[in-house]
Chain A
Amino acid sequence: MTPPRAALPRTRDDFHAARGVLVVVRDPPPAVPPARGQPPTVPADPAEGVEILVAVWDDGSVTGLCGHVDLGTGLRTSLAQIVADELDVPFDAVAMALGDTARVPNQGPTIASASIQISSVPLRLAAAQARGWLVERAAARFAVARDALATRDGVVFVAPDPARCVSYGELVAGGHVQLELDPTTPVKPVALQRLVGQPVPRVDLPAKAAGEAVYVHDVRRPGMLHGRVVRPPYVGVDAGDFVGNSLVAVDEASIAHLPGIVAVVVIRDFVGVVAEREEVAEAAARALRVEWKPWPGVAGLADVKNALRTNPATRRVVAERGDVDAALASIAQPLTREYLWPYQLHASIGPSCAVADWHGERATVWTGSQNPHTLRADLARLVALPAPAIEVIRLEASGCYGRNCADDVAADALLLARATGRPVRVQLTREQEHLWEPKGAAQLMQVSGGLDAEGRALAYDFSTSYPSNAAPTLALLLTGTVAAQAVAFEMGDRTAVPPYAYAHLRVAAHDMAPILRASWLRGVSALPNSFAHESYIDELATAAGVDPVAFRLRHLDDPRAIELIAATTRRANWIPHTAPQGQGSDGNILKGQGFAYARYVHSRFPGFGASWTAWVADVEVDRVSGEVQVRRVVVGQDAGAIINPAGAVHQVHGNVVQTTSRALKEQVPLDARGAPEAREWGAYPILSFREVPVIEVVTMPRQGEPPLGIGEASSVPGTAAIANAIFDAIGVRLREPPFTPETVRAALGVATPAAAAPALAAPAVPTGSITPVRRRRRGAWSVAAALVAGALGMAGALLGWRPALAPVGASDPSLFTAAALSRGREVAAAGNCAVCHTAPGGVTNAGGRTMATPFGTLVTTNLTPDPDTGLGRWSYAAFARAMREGISRDGRHLYPAFPYTAFTRLSDDDLLALYAYLMAQPPVRNEVAKVDLPFPYGRPAIAIWNALFLDPGAYAPDPTRGAAWNRGAYLVEAAGHCGACHTPRGALGAERGGGAYLAGAMVEGWEAPPLTAASHAPVPWTEDEFFRYLRDGHTREHGSVAGPMAPIVRDLASLPETDVRAIATYLASLHGPAGDTAAVARSLAQASRGIAVDSEAARLFDGACGACHHGGDGPVLVGRNLPLAHYSSLHSTRPDNLLRVILEGVRDPATAQIGFMPAFHDALSDRQVALVAAYLRARFAPDKPAWPDLESAVARIRAHPTP
């Protein structure tokens, strides 16, 4: 199928050069003169010629062009409806071009829901004009009067004789006709519209649902590289001397080990890495060592309200009537209030992404920007090219609701493409998008006013402080292209004038520079302003003892508003009330209903009015937990004519969900420096499916009226409606969203329920205390004797007394029997040789892994039979001596990190089998560094150490025990060398004996937990549980294996089941009788369920961990969701294992069924990890004391990652 011609042209020139087309163009509108306090607009470049609005092609297809973009609002569909309707072509004949700078008109940024209201107007006129021309042409062809003709589905026909017809395609065939837009062209009357006003299905969804749509994230160019940026420490701040001036040094050597690095690009504070593969770029951005000057932080942001009060501002009175001061001086019932809006995020689900290609004098940038023409001007400035030399191609992206990092990342990509001369795709990380997106600004609204003696609203003295700006594209600032100055804009005035007839009114905007990097977010300053207006009038109504809706109606004279309010409250079954708490309670649940109304007035003051919106919210508040549930929202909307009613309803739904989320949950947490702290969704939760209210939309029938913006208008009164409903429920007024459970509890004066659980009523666990004693085979005297011998031995060693054993020729593997080899494989597996003797990413058993010990760092040796670098020249005698006595073939002592103190217990048969197995492996040449620890830990000292701690000789079975027990003890003590990790060591590094055997120890930063009755496991161990834990790597009653134990379990998989069972038998014998473990497990899991107190920590856990870790009421995902209450790591005296798992994740689990866990290292701060850990401890190990000083424990573990 050949694509329609309408979709083909990429540039204006393509349109101009084409034959068989009718185009409607206009001269670019003159540049808007700069307006005080407004961001500068980017005018069209006259050099680019006329702007093309509509093209009708000879194949019957039609191109519509618009400078605005579809942000998931359905704009592409609505505009196509308008064009198809005016032109009388089938809907699917129209292809819309949106946002691409090389072809569409410059209509400014896609903001303020103005696309339909303003930007569609020329498009519609152009379509109407094209249709007029086509009719004219047909009239000449048929020699009839124009009004004898009609159009339908791309055909002009003679109305009384439809057989006489001609298609648009035929009419434009062969020629190139260009019409100048005539703004007086009549458009269709409403009665004749066929598509406008119909719920036409969205054009973009089928491809999106099929995975065929190409988002900006999906752009792939030939030879494309992948880039990542490294951002400076002044997180989310874009004004100040330090911006562009903080870089000290970049150490490129720190990523030299990564393959396929193409470039490290450094321009002042701009730092980027480019690699052939994305995961390498990602690793490089993480590993690159960058030194920055220290950044002091943002002073005073700990108290946002005060920061807004004291931020230097210019007061600008935008509306005044009556005499406010006089009225306030004599007011009967004064009421002074402050309302505070928090910093919030756009919080796009997809972090921003862009691709750029550099062609020398020209460049192409693929972007998801909401403002392609403004972006093009920024890019031109950044790389000093004329704007038309940069083609900005706009693709769909993740919804944005204002301005996220889309522009920033486009500039990043362009810099990296210029540096490499190849196309580069830059993907921001989730953390970067959260931290650096220009925030929706905090805002402070102050009102003085009150009631007159008759209870009417008399005066309203309103001021609003809004620290927003245009958030210059970051790379311009980081590279020093543009000075990083905070500029105050006049933007706080949107919807600043209340809709009510206050007799005396004064509205002032306190224009101020940004504090944090900020830009418009859905509703801009109007949303907070309306929150104040609509909360305040509710407070007045309560003070007057009048129903809040009735009170508003007394002060409203706009008939469309009054009709809308009537229709909305009727649908919502509004319960008139003059005081709160009329609905009573249901147990702990208090119910309330709230109302709010607004007409969104946007753009430069006095601005344009968009839709009228009214909300009725029904809420339920839990008076103990403080949780607020918005149960139902009825939204009434008068948006004038609606282009696509289905689309309009979807938009309202989206606005309700997002506004409810912002009202209940959203606030950018700030750290001690005043910098944004949220880097992922746990720290910045948004509404979940569980919390979505029932939403009903009441649409006012206004098809004859001009269409008005709906993209954000329906958000505007929402927060006040919810606050008013909460007031109705609890009788306490909340003036500072978000209305989190903590806020509500504080308002109600309810003590925060302790995170700690009520005492656990677990079934009694029999606590037999059996202390395993490693049975030493000799008494104190023999130790003393050995010591003497050892001293002699040491002397001998110094004299070279331990002989080297002669090298032998390569062993012939065929000499070993298959049975021996297979047994040897099992011994190797039980001994986990490969775990230590394999370097990360290296060949199995070829050595080279470094091992940190308290005495220094060692490197493991090559166990393959390579003659020069491995065991190839080792005789069995040499091998057995090493295993039993810790002496290398050359006579040197081996360091006891090599657990010969355990291997000495191996039976002769097993030792020989192991030797056979190792010799039968393919030899691998791998020279590993020989390490000699410094004095006093040198090799000679080991002779003394051995005298003290080595008790050579094979395992001697305990005749009082059964075969399975003895087999298990043998495996644990000998090959398994479990004690090497699980037994604490004394000062000299030897495993401690007696009751300390297997009593738990720290290894490479992990706790090897006690295997004895000293276990922290909350559910007692049984033989079965040990067996399953070692076989599967996880059990319901003990959670899953992690850290250095994971490879051990993997190795055990090659052991016969009977051997693993024997280990379990032995280990279980170290514990007392277990009792009813299932009941203990159940009660632990049960108890943890009741302790889910909503708090910052609970939200962090839920948002960051809750997809995988939940009590059965969440998603089912690949991997095991085991009860956290059963993990010994949560019950241990040390938090180390838990903290390590949170920071480092589980990347290489013991078995595939366990599943994977991401590392939260880059996503959570020390404070946040500590919060989560404390929460988990309190919730899942409620009978254990809180871990002390968690934050420094996190810092310590972060500083010493698992090697």
Chain B
Amino acid sequence: MSGTGSPPLRLTVNGRDHDVAATPGTALLTVLRNDLGLNGPKYGCGLGECGACTVLVDGVAARACVIPAGGVAGRAITTLEGLAQEGMLHPVQRAFIAEEAAQCGYCLNGMIMTTVALLARRPQPTDAEIRAEFARSLCRCGAHVEILRAVHHAAALVAHEAK
């Protein structure tokens, strides 16, 4: 976008506004990690292929490595760190812990964030829908079985707590 000088970039992350010194073309992932000190989103490929960097943009899953930070200024960005409410982990996080749905856990951020986005859209997904949603979320340790269980578990928890 044609710029008029370079005013600080303002991002709304986990409910708070932040002015950052990065140029608008800097990857959102880099800004979240380096300027805001957030460790949830991880660098895996930088190409939108693996999902390790997933955050939510207005509640929809987004791969922060392919998004220039300037492109999401003014939109609500949520990271793994922003899921907990009043000191209580999000039900999806609790479900992943309960099912031990990670080995090294490098992919865990992406799996949890993708689940949150999926359940917001489809509160009771079928197994096939879950597999489709995660078709391009990569895990090399092979925690897939536990992750699939965790998504079902999370769906049940979210439904239960909504009551």
Contacts and interface: CB of A to CB of B under 8 A. Distances in A.
A398 B50 CA distance: 13
B85 interface: no
Given A209-B112, A349-B50, A689 B131 contact: yes
Contact of A1152 (B33, B42, B71, B121): B71
A208 interface: yes
A757 interface: no
B54 to A, nearest CB: 9
A656 interface: yes
Contacts of B114: 1115
A686 B140 contact: yes
A400 B1 CA distance: 41
B48 A657 contact: no
A1047 B2 contact: yes
A657 B42 contact: no
Contact of A430 (B23, B44, B106, B134): B44
Interface stretch (A90-98, A168-176, A1155-1163): A1155-1163
A1067 interface: no
B38 A211 contact: yes
Contacts of B44: 349-351, 398, 430
A681 B138 contact: yes
B116 to A, nearest CB: 12
Given A72-B102, A214-B39, A1106 B141 contact: no
A1113 B50 CA distance: 17
B43 to A, nearest CB: 7
A297 to B, nearest CB: 26
Nearest to B2: A838
Contact of A208 (B72, B102, B130): B102
Nearest to A429: B46
Interface in B11-68: 22-23, 25-27, 30, 33-34, 37-40, 42-52, 57-58, 60-63, 65-68
Interface in A1139-1182: 1145, 1147-1149, 1152, 1156-1158, 1160, 1163
Given A205-B102, A211-B81, A1118-B67, A1158 B135 contact: no
A429 B49 CA distance: 14
A206 B135 contact: no
Interface string A363-401: 000000000000000000000000000000000111111
Interface centre among B60, B96, B136, B143 (most CB of A within 10 A): B136
A204 B66 contact: no
Interface string A685-722: 01111101001000000000000000000000000000
Main SS class of interface, A:
loop
Interface in B69-83: 71-72, 75, 79-81
B144 A692 contact: yes
B107 interface: yes
Contacts of B105: 72, 204-205, 208-209, 213, 396
A214 B33 CA distance: 12
B70 to A, nearest CB: 9
Contacts of B30: 278-279
A653 interface: yes
A1160 B47 CA distance: 7
Given A201-B100, A1103-B49, A1116 B144 contact: no
Contact of B43 (A205, A350, A842, A844): A350
A658 B57 CA distance: 32
B136 A654 contact: no
A654 B105 CA distance: 13
A688 B135 CA distance: 6
A680 B46 CA distance: 10
Contacts of A689: 130-131, 134-135, 137, 144, 147-148
Interface in A1103-1122: 1103-1104, 1106-1108, 1110, 1113-1119
Given A73-B103, A681-B49, A1118-B62, A213 B39 contact: yes
A893 interface: no
Interface string A834-855: 1100100111100000000000
Contacts of B142: 653-658, 661, 687
Given A399-B104, A1106-B136, A1158 B47 contact: yes
Interface string A815-843: 00000000000000000001100100111
A673 interface: no
Contacts of B118: 1116
Contact of A202 (B51, B58, B100, B133): B100
Contacts of A663: none
Given A277-B22, A1156-B71, A427 B43 contact: yes
A351 B52 CA distance: 11
A210 B81 contact: yes
Interface in A394-434: 396-401, 427, 429-430
Given A689-B144, A841-B3, A210 B89 contact: yes
A347 interface: yes
A1156 B68 contact: yes
Contact of A210 (B58, B61, B80, B121): B80
Given A681-B49, A1157-B66, A1117 B60 contact: yes
Interface centre among A211, A1148, A1160 (most CB of B within 10 A): A211
A651 B142 CA distance: 8
Contacts of A682: 49
Contacts of B162: none
B104 A1117 contact: no
Nearest to B58: A1118
Contacts of A843: 3-5
A687 B145 CA distance: 12
Nearest to A396: B104
A681 B106 CA distance: 16
Interface stretch (A215-223, A477-485, A487-495): A215-223
Interface in B87-105: 89, 93-94, 96-97, 100, 102-105
A212 B144 contact: no
Given A215-B106, A1047-B2, A1118 B80 contact: no
Contacts of B136: 688, 1103, 1106-1107, 1114-1115
Nearest to A1050: B1
A654 B103 contact: yes
Nearest to B45: A430
B107 A1108 contact: no
B155 interface: no
Interface string B113-139: 010011001000000001111111111
A269 B20 CA distance: 36
Contacts of B89: 206, 209-210
A680 to B, nearest CB: 6
A218 B79 CA distance: 15
Nearest to A688: B135
A213 B140 CA distance: 19
Given A202-B100, A1117-B62, A842 B3 contact: yes
Given A350-B42, A657-B145, A1116 B140 contact: no
B159 interface: no
Contact of B47 (A277, A1119, A1163): A1163
Contacts of B67: 1118, 1156
B39 A212 contact: yes
B93 A209 contact: yes
A349 B60 CA distance: 23
A250 interface: no
10 contacts: A72-B105, A209-B102, A351-B43, A400-B104, A681-B47, A689-B135, A695-B145, A1114-B136, A1117-B61, A1118-B62
Interface of B: 1-6, 22-23, 25-27, 30, 33-34, 37-40, 42-52, 57-58, 60-63, 65-68, 71-72, 75, 79-81, 84, 89, 93-94, 96-97, 100, 102-109, 112, 114, 117-118, 121, 130-148
Given A350-B106, A399-B141, A844-B2, 8 more contacts: A211-B39, A211-B109, A212-B39, A349-B138, A689-B130, A1107-B48, A1118-B58, A1118-B61
